Structure 1
Amino acid sequence: MQIIQNILLVIIGFSGGIAVAGGVFAFISILGIIPRMADRLGLASHIYQMETVIAIGGIAGSFMTVFQVHIRMGMAGLAIFGLFAGVFVGSLAMALAETLKVIPVLCQRTNLRFGLPVLIVSLGLGKALGSLYQLCFCPH
């Protein structure tokens, strides 16, 4: 009876994981992050490789989370990982904001004519400084 229960739990967990992963990747593809980044970086001919690497990263992250794999990489490796994770989250947030037309609506309602690049950089710096404050000064 215990074996059947464990097999059923594995099937339910695996099915739920596939559903969530499918939703996340569908969300990323609807936002068009990969083609937009490939176009801006001049790597449009390598878009399939970029999508493959992102899928492998998602699978590796899931594997490391489920099996609690620890990788010793030191402070430099942690900084590099943090940079890449921040770039991804920032790209996702800006793509979502662009899709929802947040910036144009904000500019229209505030009659903002000049300084849009300053506004975008300020949003990014505010997010970064808020994250650093939380990391350094908030108790864990």
Structure 2
Amino acid sequence: MLAWLFTAFLGLSGGLAVGCGFVAFITVLDIIPRLYQLLGGAVSVQWLEKAVIWGVISAMVIDFSDVHFHFLPFGTAFIGLLQGMFIGMLAAALTEVLNVFPILAKRLKLDDVLVWLLMAVVFGKVVGSLFDWMIYQTS
């Protein structure tokens, strides 16, 4: 019973940490306001927020279940297009956020270690991706 409670607590804590990190990430990158601006106010902000929430919930349910989809080529292309749009917007937002590093380095007088800060971010991403692809996916 104690092991079950510990596992439940650990799972809940990890889920809350990841959820808070995701919300902070979306907030820092101003994803919702940028989408609203790109759409020219054609939809309400609440609709965009609900779309993000339902997208996260749908992805979570699909990830935790053993569901396999068999789409026609057109359906697969459409889903790929949506995923590509999301990754493109995320990459554009991250590019703008990376401009924060030089400003932060100048204000904190860390100009000489700016390269090391950026390399730490890059190597952290590479190591995390390699761990996910090579170790986590094979187990």
User: What is the TM-score normalised by the length of structure 1?
Assistant: 0.63
The 1:50–1:79 alpha-carbon spacing in structure 2 relative to 1, beyond 3 Å, is same
1:100 shift after superposition: 2.2
1:40 aligned residue (35, 38, 41): 38
Q: Which runs of 5+ in 2 are unaligned?
A: 101-139
Contact 1:34–1:47 (CA under 8 A) maintained in structure 2: yes
Percent of pairs identical after alignment?
Answer: 37
Matches within 5 A, 1:1-140: 3-43=1-41, 46-101=44-99
**RMSD value, Cα:** 2.0
In 2, Cα distance between equivalents of 1:16 and 1:89: 24
Q: Which runs of 5+ in 1 are unaligned?
A: 103-140
One-letter identity of the residue aligned with 2:84 = G
One-letter identity of the residue aligned with 1:99 = V
In 2, Cα distance between equivalents of 1:76 and 1:15: 40
In 2, Cα distance between equivalents of 1:47 and 1:5: 43
1:69 is paired with a residue whose SS is coil
1:7 shift after superposition: 3.6
